[in-house]
Amino acid sequence: MKYNEYLVYLQKKYSTSNTEILQALNRSGGAISKSNLSHKLSGERSISIQELEIMIETICPSSSEEYELRRLYRVFDFGENNYEEFMSIKNYIEHISDPNTVRFCVSCSDLDAVEDIRSEQLLINVLFTVLESAWQQKKPVRIFCQPQFDALLDMISSLSMDSPCDLRHLVCINNDSSEAYYSNNMSCLFAADRLSRRNPAYQVRFYYSNADVIANRYTVFPFYIVTEDSLVLVAPDFKSGFLCRKQALIRRYLNQFDLMFSDSKLLLSRSPNEMEFLRDMTELETLAKKEFFVLNNGFSFLNGLDIPTLEKCLLKNHPYRDEILDLQSQRIGQFSRVYGHYFHIQDNREAFMKDGVFSRIVSRFVRPVPPAFRSTVVNRTINSSYENRLIHPGVVEMSPSFVIACYDNGMVLIAHYDTDWILLESGEKKLYQSVRNFFQYLMKYESSVDR
């Protein structure tokens, strides 16, 4: 349902006449004609956000109805495709912020007795047996498959808990402009993120094509997983397949994969620790042209902290103390050229004033701040070249150890902190545009400046 149709429905439900709406608009200084209002309610003309607010006050719908009306209006105002992108990224962030639940699979006792795989469960069991064997023998695994195959991701995640494996993954990024590509492309990014966190030897590359065409119903087995011992062909619905153990065919698929992999583009690069995290973020901010966007759970005092104050907060014996100060100098120097928008789920400055403890993101660099110095630290994080924006409650749930950012040079950054930082960067242009739309939506509708 379109927002104007829902608005008319609410108007009728609460017996609000056009005359009452016109009078309310007139009192607010935004008088319009009766015919103009009719055109707006019919969808022939757009309703401004100011007019919508007055109509809501006049109709007085319930809180749930008001929320739905605003949501429908934002879909219209922001664009349906852009809104779908926002929701896709929001859902992925909330999914990966939950404790990871991995489904463990059952091995297939006798692969030699299997060839034609006609059930989803048998396909999962066969795949797990093939992957488990490769893991145990430390042999390479090659995957030509889209990330929507959740069971495959579960297998790789569970096997990676014990040890890494030489795992190469080739995915398709949609190159069309229809709304269908949004979900596929973001699935690629967040699936790669999930597997990279589990397996430091995981490599993922991409090629441009139409993923829907590749996986259409006329292609019997468009996907495959191949090791030195086995080839598993997979149907487009991930519910059936074919197992081959012939070395000649296996070698042909391995050679084909390696050739395609070498010709493809890198989807993600990986940095393993907190210093690499700071170095990479500083470099990305330096390369930004005008602005960048960062989302994390809580307010980070390192964002704009001046050097004298940072010197007092840093651990005296930190092995990278001098480099951290140098990186912060570079970051502050960039603030005159670029503008940073820092979004946070919660404002933890009150907690900082009470405990003197920085957010988890920078806690490994700094010491607890004495009470007499805490207000100084808060005041000196204010900088005219960046803004802190507090996201409205309930918009997105996110782990304290997760960071997502994008920079207007086309780069996307995803970082996690568990025992060490894991940082992933992507320069794929469609993914960058999707993440940028996500931040634009937050800025326009779901956050407010919080200096």
| Single pTM value for the model | 0.83
* pLDDT at residue number 109: 58
* pLDDT at residue number 264: 93
* pLDDT at residue number 242: 94
Stretch 21-30: mean pLDDT: 90
d(CA 324, CA 366): 11
* φ, ψ at 145 (rounded to 5°): -165, 145
- Of 45, 44, 38, 2, which is closest to residue 21 (Cα–Cα)? 38
Fold entry, domain 271-449 = Endonuclease; Chain A (3.30.870)
User: Are 405 and 340 a contacting pair, CB within 8 Å?
Assistant: no
Sign of CA dihedral 235, 241, 247, 249: negative
Instruction: List the alpha helices (DSSP H) in 63-116.
Output: 63-78, 80-97
346: pLDDT strictly greater than 60: yes
Neighbours of 286 (CB within 10 A): 15
SS3 75: helix
280: pLDDT strictly greater than 70: yes
Neighbours of 124 (CB within 10 A): 23
Helix axes 49-59, 3-13, angle to 10 degrees: 20
Q: What is the CA radius of gyration of the chain?
A: 26
- Of 440, 437, 411, 409, which is closest to residue 423 (Cα–Cα)? 411
Neighbours of 428 (CB within 10 A): 21
* φ, ψ at 56 (rounded to 5°): -65, -45
User: Can you tell me which residue has the tokens 């007085």?
Assistant: 60
Average pLDDT across the chain, whole number? 85
AA letter at 327: L
d(CA 320, CA 315): 10
101: pLDDT strictly greater than 60: no
Which of the pair, 131 or 199, is modelled with greater confidence? 131
- Of 241, 244, 214, which is closest to residue 227 (Cα–Cα)? 244
Task: List, for residues 420-443, the tens digit of each pLDDT value.
Answer: 667 778 888 888 888 999 999 999
73: CB partners within 8 A, 6+ apart:
3, 47, 49, 52
User: Are 284 and 405 a contacting pair, CB within 8 Å?
Assistant: yes
* φ, ψ at 399 (rounded to 5°): -65, 145
Does 111-267 match 271-449 in CATH topology? Answer: yes
* pLDDT at residue number 440: 94
d(CA 172, CA 170): 7
d(CA 236, CA 62): 45
Q: Can you say how many angstroms the Cα of residue 369 is from the centroid of all Cα atoms in its chain?
A: 33
Task: List, for residues 28-51, the tens digit of each pLDDT value.
Answer: 888 899 899 999 999 999 999 899
CA separation (Å) from 191 to 63, 94, 183, 194, 213? 36, 14, 12, 5, 21
CATH of the domain spanning 111-267: 3.30.870.10
Show me where the domains of the chain are located.
3-78, 111-267, 271-449
* φ, ψ at 425 (rounded to 5°): -125, 140
Number of Cα atoms under 13 Å in the Cβ half of residue 222: 19
Instruction: List the alpha helices (DSSP H) in 199-273.
Output: 211-214, 247-263
